[in-house]
Structure 1
């Protein structure tokens, strides 16, 4: 207690204002030792209160380093107070929390960031009562984000509000945080604040739920997506999937899909890059649990229930490579990066410093930006040659926010109107000099409206027959590799299909009505956007292509006439799915276009490959034909990283597609990966069992001949490749018969047992023991006897001591894992094992002593039954106890409790690496 009584005096001394210069380091030391001081006086409530009161005085210290050090100790002190709550009730709420919230507005940057990190840790550990969050924390943050607040403080406070939303829950976030967050999204003066809001938009949406997202947040999100600053739009693109998951399917289709197309067509390359990276995840949010989820139900016995669970499934498919891909580049993140517990202060500090850097570098950018109002750009720009990312002034706003479909009155817009934006965002096609005509039937309203859509664009188009259309398509097909030619063929094909619609089908009446209401809007849109696209609008391409995609989106293929001259294969490829908006899928399929690598991102093909299983899961196996060509293109990509990404996920894709499509479309790709670089082969090797188990038995047996090839690598020092092979062979034992195991897998296992690297050998011992178990359980017992005889010949009688040591390791593993009954073990392996007691190499005898003492003598067969084998083991141990080598004597005489053979395997003298 003497120490406790001196505590107030010590604090009084170090807090004296007359000794600021002399004792600043001492005060910092006192702050660092606060927790230890509290622990010393924890038995006396009065002393604890005295220390806490001195902490409040220390918080007023003029030295920033002292205040920062104090704040670093607050989470630890709070945890101590929580654990000792009976003796010091309300200590944290009364003494510590006011200091934390006060430091949030401190003038020193380091103190502010330390307090922010401390606040997040306290919230994460649930050390702050709900009442205190509402009455003490949130009001301070609201004040710090007021319009007249300091710019830096406001930006940091917004970031804290966003991060704490997931910790405080929906109720507090919706009542206290959401209104101010919506205001900050429209901060006209500081784009840094809007950027933080955009970066954390998905987190807020996931907390407040669907209703609040659609009613309050979505209008703000549309504004941020059309912000004048490209960094804000980029942040929106990065969080688009999270926002989509918080909305209904209807909103996702009618509003978000059109908005996302604008981001893909953004003038800034960085925005387009982020949008294309989010395209696959965004498409995965369209998954229908009743269709895509069934594939997981077949495998796992469970189905998806909602958008969230569907996204988890697709994320599971897409992230297969995460475990082993080490080449992923690190992207610079702003305040949207999540802060972990232990290194919270460091991460938050780095984030704040990055934000300050952006603020300084972008000051000139904010000088000339007109930010008084925010509008949503529906589709006002061409995606041909985009302006440089710094030319932000060209990002004009052409359509108001309410035109984006945010008003409830416009929620009933037809799907044709909402997706008839194809000609706004795609690269303009060159003019083609052709004769063109749509079949005219007086009683078909659709044909008349197609003419009305076509004539305003080019009123002097000559008429052509269907035969001429087909001839033009045939003439262009040899040059289909040219993107421009391919686009022309698509336009002509669309026109040909549109002209072949059956006029007698009853469903056409409803199509005509929908198209009639759309005609005026479409023509007006074309006229209003002609100055933007210039005079190179194709004669018929845009209108008919848009019309065709609209028709295909509404109807399935049974609505089309079968009189087309296309072959069945061409018809199959021309089908359009109805799971996701076709415009999104078209953009996703275009990610393999070589021009995208030049205009968007050099690794765009890798991002396409990364999200392909998720997209395939969303579309379902019935729409695999939409992705097949893209998958084959990616599988033959020149970049090995693209092929590696596919290799790591091919087993998941096989689950989605089923055995028939897997055998037809994935097996050839799989075979190609087997002959690829080691960086690609490791992908298929890590999931070799998962893929082969999905194949038919006959097809599966074909790969027995190729397993030997995995022993050969580009670099012999790549021992992890062989270790993975051993791991997979253990799993493959369940897929093959006893004869196949003995004929094909046994030679590979023996080769791995003699590997130069001990890690590979140790896994191989497990492989051989499991092989013995599998063969013993087979109906034909000759295989296991032959295997054990070969073990004796190849290893026990090996002229190299490492081979004889391998035999001891294998025997120990077989015995320890009960892979063979002890009576069979005693007959076939034990005599040869005991013979090694006279081996001339001490390492072999040491290992033998460990095996006999720690493994065999613990088995019931050698403990309770008096037999000749037990006597032989005991005699061998006695001989080893008198061995001339001290280590052999040691392990044969005692039973070291801390030394197990498995622990010692990696440190034996035979280890190479």
Structure 2
């Protein structure tokens, strides 16, 4: 082992050796009973090698050491005592060298679940609290991102006395990136928070984040608002858990993970802090950087390897303490007309707003040129400002916004569609709406301040959402959440609506069915949104909503949305309905369900006929729905209208699914053959005597499925009224070998094994078997050899 440890002195071999350490540890443990000296190999040799390479300047070695240490901890190669004595001191030592390796914060959080509650509270909690109050803003931001790991492991006393006050302090941090991180982890913090503290402390703090002066903070808060509201459920419906890769997730009572949908926040096209610093060391370079930061640039300052241990991917790595010194000096730098906060100064507010508007207009022009939905855009006519009465009290940016608001209101009154705003005090957003709203049900506009460029709160619409009074969740959170559905055409408006639609079932589950009137109009507005992503989310959530609301509300309020989604232009929306077709129909009342029997064919009238998987799923869902309808409706619609078109599809998987559907239809109507007479006639004429061999093969497979599922009694199958047996025996002479092979398998497996057919039709069956025994095709002969 001493020789092996010397290998680590060679940088070239170091990384490869680290990757082999888990295998060496496993072999050492497996043979420790036989060789006494191997018992201490891990603690005395292997673990020190791994710990010594944490924070190494070489990125590959550093990554390998972290991955190996996590693997050894997860597999139990490292005892709790060894972790406390050797691993924890090494991690804490890295915390003192944040200029070398900032990912030590993420590493410490990654080990929280492996070390356990006792070590976390005794050793790591104190250091984590210190990091939360660091003078370096990016350290505080990283610490805020890791709050969920500590909330999941520590006890309630430590949480209430240490973690929660620290989190609330970070929510009011001077740097917008720290507040943004707090907004992103609010759900994890709230999951373990007592209900009284959640309402009295967390909810007001999150309300401030929703009205933050930074646009990016407001957007992040908006994205997590639905999940935060879901934590108010009583009894709790979500809890903190770890997925298979060790990442922190939210899990409901059924064991399903809650994954926040991706949302573009505009950071990807903005230069990062590191790139700006490295680009130029001149004062002009700093000025250009700071202008980007004022616009919401991402100032990530961590290592690339943070993402390997559950952290978020970072944009740039640095290994020099000089960079941190420059960063600290920059934080204290005062430029004329600028401050170190993300928002612009008052005296230069108009100038910064002009620059930002020009840049945004350029970006919007580029996006519009490549937008697939340009046909939704209606160019507004030119406004004659001389005809408008503008009242301004000064040159302040807030007054300018109010004046611009009046311009939009006056122009909106001239449009064919009326746009009603709560009052003249609602502040204007970055861009005017450039798309047509398909619904006007939603009147809430509370989130204007979330996606606008300043954080002043407008109280004009807080009382517009009408419904029964509820005390489960603070009403201002509900109002803000519902207002997210009415932001189309505004900056990030569609993304906010996506999050609203995605979280809607969780919010409704938290409120309960008695408060459905609060959110009914919002669900309708989302259901007819122009964005297919939003309609798809609503279509996929109709079934969970029906479970929550009950059959009466589902039949009355959700059924019209269901019918609209059946005829939606976008196939992905129809797929969302199709995947839950049976479950939704099962939940509505029988009267409403019967009205859907003749409407289900709308699903196949669009371009879905080219998507064979869509048709296969349609056939499978119809098969499950057979027992939901009356025999008459099954025979009329599922048997005679939908099944024949599916039986003649070119793709074999669709035909096989349709065969199962037809057999279930016949089984449902076998009590009265007159109901299925039309279908049986069609099967005999078009399939048993069809000119295409594929049709005849489908009939043979259908006969096999009918006998297998006992869809028809043996007497009905052999009767002249159905003609199934006679047509099957006639196809035994077919020149296509696949058809003869299908007939042979049907006779051997289902006919000669049935007492009725042996007693009444043995001669006809034996004749076919003897003929097939001498068939020219070997596969046909082998199929009947055992029967003969």
Alignment TM-score, normalising by the size of structure 2? 0.72
1:258 Cα shift?
A: 1.3
Who is 2:656 aligned against?
Answer: 762
Superposition pairs of residues 626-775 of structure 1, within 5 angstroms: 626-677=518-569, 678-747=571-640, 748-775=642-669
Q: 1:203 aligns with which of 146, 149, 152?
A: 149
Give me the whole-angstrom Cα distance separating, in 2, the residues matched to 1:601 and 1:305: 29
Give me the whole-angstrom Cα distance separating, in 1, the residues matched to 2:18 and 2:319: 26
Superposition pairs of residues 55-70 of structure 1, within 5 angstroms: 55-58=4-7, 60-64=8-12, 66-70=13-17
SS of the residue corresponding to residue 573 of structure 1 reads coil
Who is 1:609 aligned against?
Answer: 501
1:98 paired to 2:48? yes
Q: 1:165 aligns with which of 112, 115, 135?
A: 112
Higher alpha-carbon deviation: 239-248 or 675-684:
675-684
**1:314-371 Cα shifts (integer Å, max 9, x gaps):** 998996x99xx9x98799999xxxxxxxxx9996189697264499999976543369
2:238–2:253: 8 Å Cα contact kept in structure 1?
Answer: no
**1:234-262 Cα shifts (integer Å, max 9, x gaps):** 22211111110010111111111111122
Give me the whole-angstrom Cα distance separating, in 2, the residues matched to 1:775 and 1:805: 24
**1:786-841 Cα shifts (integer Å, max 9, x gaps):** 65554333322222111111112223333444545566556664443333221112
1:647–1:684: 8 Å Cα contact kept in structure 2?
Answer: yes
1:852 Cα shift?
A: 4.5
Question: What residue ranges of structure 2 are gaps of 5+ in the alignment?
Answer: 242-249, 273-303, 334-340, 357-397, 404-416, 428-452
2:487–2:494: 8 Å Cα contact kept in structure 1?
Answer: no
Who is 1:242 aligned against?
Answer: 188
1:866 Cα shift?
A: 5.4
1:139 paired to 2:33? no
Q: 1:117 aligns with which of 67, 72, 80?
A: 67
1:241–1:281: 8 Å Cα contact kept in structure 2?
Answer: yes
1:430–1:537: 8 Å Cα contact kept in structure 2?
Answer: no
Superposition pairs of residues 333-348 of structure 1, within 5 angstroms: 348=308
1:156–1:352: 8 Å Cα contact kept in structure 2?
Answer: no
1:354 paired to 2:314? yes
Superposition pairs of residues 853-868 of structure 1, within 5 angstroms: 855-856=749-750, 860-861=753-754, 867=759
**1:151-196 Cα shifts (integer Å, max 9, x gaps):** 233x22221111122233322322222222222222223x343332
1:279 Cα shift?
A: 0.4
> Which is helix-richer, 1 or 2?
1
1:185 paired to 2:124? no
Question: What residue ranges of structure 1 are gaps of 5+ in the alignment?
Answer: 1-51, 290-303, 335-343, 372-376, 392-425, 432-477, 489-531, 550-569, 896-913
Who is 1:813 aligned against?
Answer: 705
Q: 1:275 aligns with which of 213, 217, 221?
A: 221
Who is 2:684 aligned against?
Answer: 792
1:739 Cα shift?
A: 1.5
**1:32-52 Cα shifts (integer Å, max 9, x gaps):** xxxxxxxxxxxxxxxxxxxx5
Who is 1:451 aligned against?
Answer: none
Give me the whole-angstrom Cα distance separating, in 1, the residues matched to 2:134 and 2:617: 54
Give me the whole-angstrom Cα distance separating, in 1, the residues matched to 2:350 and 2:566: 40
**Higher RCO by CA contacts (8 Å cutoff, separation 6 or greater):** 1
Higher alpha-carbon deviation: 72-81 or 615-624:
72-81
Q: 1:622 aligns with which of 514, 529, 539?
A: 514
Aligned length, in residue pairs: 646
Q: 1:261 aligns with which of 200, 207, 213?
A: 207
Superposition pairs of residues 816-895 of structure 1, within 5 angstroms: 816-820=708-712, 825=717, 829-852=724-747, 855-856=749-750, 860-861=753-754, 867=759, 869=761, 872-893=764-785
1:267–1:386: 8 Å Cα contact kept in structure 2?
Answer: no
Taking a change above 3 Å as real, the CA distance of residues 754 and 306 of structure 1, as seen in their structure-2 partners, is closer
Taking a change above 3 Å as real, the CA distance of residues 243 and 175 of structure 1, as seen in their structure-2 partners, is same
Taking a change above 3 Å as real, the CA distance of residues 486 and 105 of structure 1, as seen in their structure-2 partners, is closer
SS of the residue corresponding to residue 603 of structure 1 reads helix
Give me the whole-angstrom Cα distance separating, in 2, the residues matched to 1:101 and 1:110: 15
Taking a change above 3 Å as real, the CA distance of residues 893 and 247 of structure 1, as seen in their structure-2 partners, is same
Who is 2:79 aligned against?
Answer: 129
Higher alpha-carbon deviation: 622-631 or 737-746:
622-631
1:285 Cα shift?
A: 0.9
2:688–2:699: 8 Å Cα contact kept in structure 1?
Answer: yes
1:635 Cα shift?
A: 1.9
Give me the whole-angstrom Cα distance separating, in 2, the residues matched to 1:645 and 1:385: 40
1:185–1:198: 8 Å Cα contact kept in structure 2?
Answer: yes
Alignment TM-score, normalising by the size of structure 1? 0.63
Give me the whole-angstrom Cα distance separating, in 2, the residues matched to 1:868 and 1:804: 25
SS of the residue corresponding to residue 139 of structure 1 reads helix
1:317–1:649: 8 Å Cα contact kept in structure 2?
Answer: no
1:205 Cα shift?
A: 0.4
1:284 Cα shift?
A: 1.0
1:318–1:611: 8 Å Cα contact kept in structure 2?
Answer: no
Give me the whole-angstrom Cα distance separating, in 1, the residues matched to 2:118 and 2:662: 59
SS of the residue corresponding to residue 131 of structure 2 reads helix
SS of the residue corresponding to residue 232 of structure 2 reads coil
1:287–1:307: 8 Å Cα contact kept in structure 2?
Answer: no
SS of the residue corresponding to residue 105 of structure 1 reads coil
Give me the whole-angstrom Cα distance separating, in 1, the residues matched to 2:457 and 2:576: 46
Taking a change above 3 Å as real, the CA distance of residues 871 and 574 of structure 1, as seen in their structure-2 partners, is closer
Who is 1:555 aligned against?
Answer: none
